[in-house]
Amino acid sequence: MSGSIVLRGGTVLTLDDARRVLPGEDVLVDGDRIAAIGPALEVPAGTTEIDATGGIVMPGMIDTHRHLWQTAMRGYGADWTLTQYFVWYYLEWGKVFRPEDIHAGNLLGAWEALEAGVTTTVDWSHGLQTTGHADAAADALEAVPGRFVLAYGNIQDAPANWTATREFRDFVSRRTGGDRGLEGFQLAFDVTGDPAFPEKPAFEVARELGVPVTTHAGVWGATGDDGIRLMYDHGFMTPETVYVHGASLSADSYHRIAATGGSVSVSTESEQSAGQGYPPTWALRKYGIPVSLSMDTSVWWSGDLFSAMRATLGADRSREHLEAHAKGETVTHAALRAEQVVEWATRGGAAALGRSDIGSLEVGKKADVVLLKNDDSPASFPLLNPYGHVVFQAQRGDVHTVLVGGRVVKRDGKLVGADLPAVRRRVEETVGHLRAQLGEEAWRQGMNPDVPAAKILDNPYTYTDYQSDRTHGG
Ligand SMILES: [Zn+2]
C-alpha cells in the first residue's frame, strides 16, 4: 500500500522544534513524505483513511545501537554479566556463527524492531568474520522494509586487520553509498586504551571512506578514559562519532565528547544489568552531551524503545533521589521529564545519525509514523499526559500502525508482508546449528558460563594484552 494515507484525529506528538502536541488532528502522508498536519484535513480522492482517534501519533523511533545478529539467541543470556557475555561471544562461541546465522538473527531482529515502532535501527554488526557474513547481514536488512544502518564490525579480529582487507573494500564499494538498500554505513569497533593505539589504522580507514565510527566507550573492564584520550589526541573524535554506553568515564572524557560534538547512545537496561556502569544520562545532561537511546541486544532484552524510555527515566530519577538522600535532601521536582526521553528515542536518534529528514512529524519530512492505539486495552484511556502515556503506560502491543517512508509496514496491530514462519524456520536452523556446535552440556552451561582465570577481566579483545589497573581493585 502506498499513495496518500491520512491518520485521522489522533493526539499528534510532532517532536518539532516547538514540541507541539496537537490533540485531535490529522497527519496526511503523500508518497514518502508528510504532506500536511492539521484538524479535519481535506485529502485527495482515494486516500487511505486510518482512524487514530483515542490514539497517539508520533515519529518512528530510532535505535542507535543494536546487535541484530544476536537476536537468534533471544533471552539466552538473561542472567549474564558483561563478563559472561564476553566469554560466550568474544572468546568461545561467536566464531561458530555462519553467514546464514547472521542473516537469521538480522531478519528476526529487523522485523521485531518494526513491529515495535522502531523505524530506524543501527545494526551494530560485530560478528562479521568474513565479507560473506557481511553480505548476509546486508541482505537481511535490505529484505525488511525499515531503515537500517549497517555498522560493520568483527570481534574476532583486530580492527586494523579487517578494515585493511581487499574484501572489505570490495564490500563497501558494492553495498554502500548512493541509493542502495542500506540507509547508512558506519565502522563499529572499540578502543581498548592500549597506548600503542592499535585501532588507529581503522580510524584512518573511516576517515578516508568518510563514514562515522561507533564505539563502545565507557564500558567498565573494557574501554575507558584511556581510549577516549587516544581518540582525542589523534583527532578522531568528531561530531558524527557515536559513543555507546558512555558510562564509567571521568569528567575529562565527558568534556572531550562535549567539546567535539559527539553523542552517546544510552542502553539503560543493558548498563543496569550487564555492568558497563551506571546509566549515564545524569552525567550527559550535566555536560550537555546529546543523547540517543538503544536496546543493545536481545540476548538479554527486547528490541523495543518503550522499555528503553521507561528504564532510562527510572534510572535517572533513581540516581537523583539517591544522591539527594545521601546529602539528607529531598528531590521535590524531578529533573528529567517524560518528554525528554521521548525526544531521545526519536529526534535524538536522528541527530546522532546526522539525519534532519526523520525523527519528527513535520511537513516535508520523511513519513516515518507510528500510531499507538489499542481500544481493547484498559490502559489506553484516559489519555491525559501524552508523553507520560508513551513512557509509562504504552508498550509494543499498543503499536497499531507503522509507516516507513509512507509505506505501511504494520496495520491494525499486524506486520504487513512479514513471512514470520519462514523467519522462524531460519532461526530454528541457526539454533540447531549452535546447539550442535556447543553440545548439550555447554549449551546448558552457556546460560551461566564459567569465567576463565586470566585474560577476560583485562579486556575481551584478543588482539591486545593491554589492561587497565582501574578494574582490578586498583
Ligand atoms: Zn553493544
φ and ψ at 115, to 5 degrees? -60, -30
User: SS3 letters for 12-31?
Assistant: EECCCCCCCEEEEEEEEEEC
Quote the cell numbers at residue 221. Answer: 573492564
Distance 266 CA to ligand 1 centre (A): 10
Distance 257 CA to ligand 1 centre (A): 19
E-only strand ranges, 21-135: 21-30, 33-38, 48-51, 56-59, 61-66, 118-125
The 10s digit of each residue's pLDDT in 194-203 is 999 999 999 9
The 10s digit of each residue's pLDDT in 240-265 is 999 999 999 999 999 999 999 999 99
Banded model confidence at residue 452, pLDDT cuts 50, 70, 90: confident
Distance 44 CA to ligand 1 centre (A): 45
| Residue of 398, 423, 402 lying closest to 146 (CA atoms) | 402
Distance 235 CA to ligand 1 centre (A): 24
Distance 471 CA to ligand 1 centre (A): 19
Give Cα 229 distance to the centre of its chain: 25
Quote the cell numbers at residue 88. Answer: 560466550
Distance 377 CA to ligand 1 centre (A): 34
Distance 67 CA to ligand 1 centre (A): 6
Distance 100 CA to ligand 1 centre (A): 21
Quote the cell numbers at residue 134. Answer: 557481511
Distance 207 CA to ligand 1 centre (A): 22
Distance 127 CA to ligand 1 centre (A): 12
| CA-to-CA dists, residue 233 to 191, 200, 243, angstroms | 13, 11, 16
The 10s digit of each residue's pLDDT in 275-329 is 999 999 999 999 999 999 999 999 999 899 999 999 999 999 999 999 999 999 9
Distance 305 CA to ligand 1 centre (A): 15
Q: Give the global pTM.
A: 0.97
Q: In the prediction, which pLDDT does 1 show?
A: 45
Amino acid in the structure at residue 54: G
Distance 274 CA to ligand 1 centre (A): 11
Domains annotated on the chain, with CATH: 5-57+379-414 (2.30.40.10), 61-352 (3.20.20.140)
Distance 65 CA to ligand 1 centre (A): 6
Distance 466 CA to ligand 1 centre (A): 21
Distance 376 CA to ligand 1 centre (A): 36
Q: In the prediction, which pLDDT does 259 show?
A: 98
| Paired sense of beta strands 33-38 and 21-30, if any | antiparallel
Distance 66 CA to ligand 1 centre (A): 7
The 10s digit of each residue's pLDDT in 261-286 is 999 999 999 999 999 999 999 999 99
Q: Does position 14 have pLDDT exceeding 70, yes or no?
A: yes
> What is the DSSP secondary-structure string of 232-288?
HHTT---TT-EEEE--S--HHHHHHHHHHT-EEEE-HHHHHHH-SSS-THHHHHHHT
Terminal-residue alpha carbon distance, the chain:
60
| Residue of 238, 235, 190 lying closest to 212 (CA atoms) | 238
Distance 302 CA to ligand 1 centre (A): 14
Distance 123 CA to ligand 1 centre (A): 10
What is the side-by-side order of every strand in the sheet holding 147-152? 61-66, 118-125, 147-152, 184-188, 213-217, 242-245, 263-266, 291-293
| Residue of 307, 283, 303 lying closest to 392 (CA atoms) | 307
Q: Which residues surround ligand 1, an ion (CB under 5 A)?
A: 296
